[in-house]
Structure 1
Amino acid sequence: MTKPAILTVDDDPMVSAAISRDLRRRYGDDYLVVKATSGDQALAALTKLALRNQPIAMIATDQRMPGMTGIELLERAREQAPTAKYLLLTAYADTDVAIRAINDIGLDYYLLKPWDPPEDQLFPVIDDLLGDWRHANREHTSDVRVVGHRWSDRAHDIKTFLARNHVPYSWYDVDRDAEAQRLQDLADATDADLPLVLVPDGDTLRAPSAVDLASALGLRTRAQQPLYDVCIVGGGPAGLAAAVYAASEGLSTVIVEREAPGGQAGLSAAIENYLGFPRGLTGSDLAQRAVAQASRFGAEMVLARSVVGVESRGPVHAVLLEGSGEIEARALIVATGVSYRSLDVDGLADFTGRGVFYGATASEATQCQDEEVYIVGAANSAGQAALNLARFAKRVVLLVRGEALENSMSRYLIDKIAKVKNIEIRCRTEVVGCRGDGHLEGLTLADRASGRVEEVQAGWLFVFVGASPRTEWLGQSVLRDDKGFVVTGPELIGQDRWQLPRPPYALETSVPGVFAAGDVRLDSMKRVASAVGEGAMSVYLVHRYLATV
């Protein structure tokens, strides 16, 4: 197969030779390293590579070059290498220019010269960039194949599960693709069997459950030990951070996640205000990195299993799993986060997964090619979804109940949205009705100020409203407020539910040894960074608790 190319550009012959040499030594087995000594030469090389249909994985260019700067080159290269990673090699004096280029041209990273030794200064950065590129540009020769109807809610669930668990797949629509019909005939499958999931070197799955699908893909669905030091319920940022810190500090650790790592944050197309990532990163990327980190330290992850209850058995807490099975641990961290609230519109629930979606993954975005999309919501998650969907959709309409986005959305997102021509913002507007035959086909919109009602055609509605905690499984033993958020720490003082002579630890619930971290906790900040911080803090408190029992 054709090797992806890495293009290096530097007008200094010695520097050009050095970086090409270093990259060939490290990456030459998997990538074609091409060097250029000017912007014009680099553009000519890109043209030649494009004619060969050779993918460009990365362009690493010097900034200060006569005739054409590195940033000018990268801006012009976007047409021929739209998916390439952009690395700017620059001097300290040009860092302000490089930071501006992150927003202006989508620069992925800038690196100060010199980069010696490359093992410490250069290769770790390029490893990350190429890893991200490979993840986003996988070959599809041995992917999982999913065959089904476009407007099937079960097919949507399966595609979402695969995407969020970083399993590459190819989608075949039986209503549009001849190949999909051929695969259905080969499997001798009826419509009742759809969606089909064809797994390489495995049996054909017919409308599989999440557990069956996970098992077929080799994902772990059962715990390996009878007892753990700590069990973490929920694999969002708080749960993953807790797993990293617990496992790295020698605690036997298991995470139970009913869907996929990342939680609600995992659906984000871009997290741009997370410390240490000036270019931003996707929620999926953050989750993937965190899972790899937790696994490296020895944490187990049990996927596709819902927790339905918890029991305290002396010094041990037992987490009860749906269907059958349980996990026992000496301490429990509740990090189940929140989910988007359902939109209260008559008949809308019938279209969930059939044109109406809560949250949005990259797979939905690509399926909206050249179509009109409506989004309900005004917080950062809605703004990020609008920007992501606008890359594919003909028009994106953001429906906002309030007077203005400024009341609920970060300024940097508002500024970005204002620059995108195919995003329309409609304030004081809400969805009051829907229609469709088997899938969503239209919406009724109402102006909250005038009461004027309008009918619009719509096949796609994405909902980002409010947050409901996932805590019903805790039963009556763990104190929660009237909305279901878990009460912790000082808020328990004075409550008759706390029975020990010592005060509860900061993130401890009304049950000693059971802690809550992240969005599920009452009065949490609802930010990724704070969830990560609480996940780490909960492990510190688990250590203190375990030392007393």
Structure 2
Amino acid sequence: MPGSEHQPRLPAILTVDDDPAVSRAVARDLRRHYGERYRIIRAESGADAVEALKELKLRGDTVAVLVADYRMPQMSGIEFLEQAMEFFPLARRVLLTAYADTHAAIDAINVVDLDHYLLKPWDPPEEKLYPVIDGLLEEWRAVGDRGMPYTKVIGHRYNDRSWEVRQFLARNEYSFRSVNADEPKGRQLLEAAGLDDSQLPVVITEKGEKLVAPTDGELATLLGLSTSPSLEMYDLAVIGGGPAGLAAAVYGASEGLKTVLIEKSSTGGQAGRSSKIENYLGFPFGISGAELTTSARRQAEKFGAEVITTQEAGRLKTGGVGAAHSIVLNDDTTIGARAVILATGVDYRQLRITGCWDDPDDPACNYIGRGVYYGASVSDNSECAGEDVYIVGGANSAGQAAMFMSQTAKTVTMLIRGPSLEAGMSQYLVDRVKRTENIIVRTCTEVIDTVADGDRLTSLVLSDRQTGETETVSCDRMCCFIGATPRTDWLEEAGIARDDHDFILSGPDVSKVSGWMLDRPPHHLETSVPGVFVAGDVRSDSAKRVAAAVGEGSMAVMLVHRYLAET
């Protein structure tokens, strides 16, 4: 078109269907709703669509969404999407299927990491098409096809604070690119900022602002997160921002309670570190932990809950029956609440071997953040590109991390003390792990020692629990998922009853211990202190599943209402 070089280069939405009538209908509906912001391109065969993508790539254009029909001659929709990933790997992928072909969409999850499938016909598009495409476009815009996002994190591969900064930003779904200071790009950015590698990590914002070795509070301010409560007294204080705490904040605020949620780092808890949660109700194609929990935080804030990050509850002072409780934060701020929900979750248990735990007798020998990690260790899977990664543990969180890192790692080896994966992992995940060529599963194996070069991990010493034989293996990164330690040590002063493993007792279990002060029995999720409730993984005998935590968080709010009505 004459003068087209002067037109703005809109990102494209490409649709391909071999049925001309359907092809025109898809393009018509998309153009009607998105035509002013996106270029709508249609093709009537997979081959034509691939050629269109090649041309777009050569021109430097971007593609936001790909919509492909499943049943096409010569090249199926899945085959097309698989080829399309080579040109535009960040484009969101949608498969059009008839009802009888929904099995194809399930297969496509494993082949092309499908984002959504749509059943034909989708009338009315306002209900069945546009909400899906709107969500995918929002996800795409958060990443786009930019070579370098505006915000850069300059750090060192084996600097533990650099790793913590990347994790904080990633878990809050803040778009950035990590650059190592010893790479040409990193040295160039440091020189331009007038800094050197003794000041790492450095965050350079899209406005050119420099944050040198930023604290979590400074990062929270960058992200626009609240770091201090606005009130002295609340109806409900939720301690902990994992799925249970977020659910409690959503339901508390939506039902009219003045609600505050206190989280010491970033919302999400252990679930927020998961690369993909695939067995949570309502998300057939899975959802990342960060995406799920960030959406939940926004939902809580929409209803009026205050979400305070980078603050830790240091002490809980319980009031009498019907009296307010006091929470003392780590900056000595004190807030009051008529009711409290404890949703502090758990930490991964540390390996008690050299360099893998906070050893008070040898504090200098610590490789945590320098090759040893607890939970997921990467903010994006490119961080472990070409590495030999070892994952200790065999539960779902370990399997999800293995699948995520296997996309770029040279090898991912799962070390399991027991005889099989099936004992602790959901079957759908077991099947995916076994199908992935570069994931190796070693059963009846444990880590007994580490080898380091300077201050970073280089090798592991493994032991076969059946034969007793040992072996030293090269390791670039070890991620541990070996059980849970509850975050309850700060509750000593409050006198809240706990079990032998320090998980919080509640409901009927409280009746078995002394100290209950009321004639009525404790509510189901109520602790030994009236008006203080517990939800999620920190509760004794909890299910340790995201869905269970969300259910307990919402149920706890219902019980809070009962308690407040009684007092």
Q: Aligned partners of 2:41 and 2:186: how far apart in 1? A: 40
1:475 corresponds to which residue? 492
2:129 pairs with 1:122: yes
1:22 Cα deviation after fit: 2.1
Q: Answer yes or no: is the 8 Å Cα contact 2:149–2:177 preserved in 1.
A: no
Q: Aligned partners of 1:5 and 1:454: how far apart in 2? A: 53
Q: Answer yes or no: is the 8 Å Cα contact 2:497–2:513 preserved in 1.
A: no
Q: Aligned partners of 1:341 and 1:303: how far apart in 2? A: 23
1:354 corresponds to which residue? 370
2:256 pairs with 1:250: yes
1:134 Cα deviation after fit: 2.5
Q: Answer yes or no: is the 8 Å Cα contact 1:354–1:439 preserved in 2.
A: yes
2:314 corresponds to which residue? 308
SS at match of 1:310: strand
Q: Aligned partners of 1:105 and 1:179: how far apart in 2? A: 32
2:536 pairs with 1:529: no
1:142 Cα deviation after fit: 6.1
TM-score by length of 2: 0.92
2:4 corresponds to which residue? none
1:190 Cα deviation after fit: 5.2
2:247 corresponds to which residue? 241
320-329 or 181-190, larger mean C-alpha shift? 181-190
TM-score by length of 1: 0.95
2:293 pairs with 1:287: yes
Task: Spell out, residue by residue over 1:38-78, the C-alpha distance to the aligned partner (whole angstroms, 9 max, x if none).
Answer: 22322222222222232322111233444444334334433
2:360 corresponds to which residue? none
Q: For the structure 1 residues 364 and 343, does the alpha-carbon distance in structure 2 shift closer, same or farther, using more than 3 Å as the test? A: farther
Q: Aligned partners of 1:453 and 1:427: how far apart in 2? A: 14
1:418 corresponds to which residue? 434
1:459 corresponds to which residue? 476
Q: Answer yes or no: is the 8 Å Cα contact 1:163–1:361 preserved in 2.
A: no
Task: Spell out, residue by residue over 1:373-415, the C-alpha distance to the aligned partner (whole angstroms, 9 max, x if none).
Answer: 1111111111111111111111111111112212212221121
SS at match of 1:547: helix
Read off the aligned partner of 1:440 and give its amino acid letter: L
Match of 2:15 among 8, 21, 30: 8
Match of 1:442 among 431, 435, 459: 459
Q: Answer yes or no: is the 8 Å Cα contact 1:199–1:217 preserved in 2.
A: no
Task: Spell out, residue by residue over 1:321-356, the C-alpha distance to the aligned partner (whole angstroms, 9 max, x if none).
Answer: 112212222111111111111111023330000111
Count residues in correspondence: 548
Q: Aligned partners of 1:7 and 1:426: how far apart in 2? A: 44
Match of 1:276 among 282, 289, 296: 282
2:558 corresponds to which residue? 540
Match of 2:402 among 367, 386, 398: 386
Structure 1 unaligned regions, length at least 5 = none
Q: For the structure 1 residues 61 and 190, does the alpha-carbon distance in structure 2 shift closer, same or farther, using more than 3 Å as the test? A: closer
Q: Aligned partners of 2:51 and 2:190: how far apart in 1? A: 46
2:530 corresponds to which residue? 512
Q: Answer yes or no: is the 8 Å Cα contact 1:269–1:362 preserved in 2.
A: no
SS at match of 1:535: helix
2:118 pairs with 1:111: yes
Q: Aligned partners of 2:556 and 2:130: how far apart in 1? A: 34
Q: Aligned partners of 1:53 and 1:30: how far apart in 2? A: 17
Task: Spell out, residue by residue over 1:498-536, the C-alpha distance to the aligned partner (whole angstroms, 9 max, x if none).
Answer: 111111110011111111111110000001111111111
Q: For the structure 1 residues 191 and 100, does the alpha-carbon distance in structure 2 shift closer, same or farther, using more than 3 Å as the test? A: closer
Match of 1:157 among 157, 160, 164: 164
Q: Aligned partners of 2:474 and 2:24: how far apart in 1? A: 58
1:322 corresponds to which residue? 330
Q: Answer yes or no: is the 8 Å Cα contact 2:90–2:145 preserved in 1.
A: no
1:15 Cα deviation after fit: 3.0
Q: Aligned partners of 2:194 and 2:84: how far apart in 1? A: 48
Task: Spell out, residue by residue over 1:141-164, the C-alpha distance to the aligned partner (whole angstroms, 9 max, x if none).
Answer: 663322222211111111111111
SS at match of 1:484: coil
Aligned CA RMSD, in angstroms, stands at: 2.0
Q: Aligned partners of 1:76 and 1:61: how far apart in 2? A: 12
Task: Spell out, residue by residue over 1:295-324, the C-alpha distance to the aligned partner (whole angstroms, 9 max, x if none).
Answer: 221222111111111112452122211122
Q: Answer yes or no: is the 8 Å Cα contact 1:58–1:84 preserved in 2.
A: yes
Read off the aligned partner of 1:465 and give its amino acid letter: I
2:389 corresponds to which residue? 373
2:361 corresponds to which residue? none
Runs of 4+ that moved beyond 6 A: none
2:265 corresponds to which residue? 259
2:217 pairs with 1:199: no
2:413 pairs with 1:407: no
Q: For the structure 1 residues 195 and 102, does the alpha-carbon distance in structure 2 shift closer, same or farther, using more than 3 Å as the test? A: closer
SS at match of 2:86: coil
1:186 Cα deviation after fit: 4.6
1:170 corresponds to which residue? 177
Read off the aligned partner of 1:486 and give its amino acid letter: I
1:9 Cα deviation after fit: 1.8
Q: For the structure 1 residues 534 and 104, does the alpha-carbon distance in structure 2 shift closer, same or farther, using more than 3 Å as the test? A: same
1:128 Cα deviation after fit: 1.5
Q: Aligned partners of 1:105 and 1:166: how far apart in 2? A: 23
Read off the aligned partner of 1:383 and give its amino acid letter: G
2:362 corresponds to which residue? none
Q: Answer yes or no: is the 8 Å Cα contact 1:102–1:278 preserved in 2.
A: no
Match of 1:42 among 39, 42, 49: 49
Task: Spell out, residue by residue over 1:23-52, the C-alpha distance to the aligned partner (whole angstroms, 9 max, x if none).
Answer: 123223332211112223222222222222
SS at match of 1:465: coil
Q: Aligned partners of 2:132 and 2:72: how far apart in 1? A: 23
2:305 pairs with 1:299: yes
Q: For the structure 1 residues 456 and 64, does the alpha-carbon distance in structure 2 shift closer, same or farther, using more than 3 Å as the test? A: closer
Q: Answer yes or no: is the 8 Å Cα contact 2:498–2:505 preserved in 1.
A: yes
Q: How does 1:217-232 map to 2 (within 5 A)?
A: 217-232=223-238
Read off the aligned partner of 2:480 and give its amino acid letter: V
Read off the aligned partner of 1:160 and give its amino acid letter: Q
Identity of aligned residues (%): 50
Q: Aligned partners of 1:428 and 1:131: how far apart in 2? A: 44
Q: Aligned partners of 1:410 and 1:77: how far apart in 2? A: 31
Q: Aligned partners of 2:355 and 2:55: how far apart in 1? A: 55
Read off the aligned partner of 1:316 and give its amino acid letter: A
Read off the aligned partner of 1:439 and give its amino acid letter: R
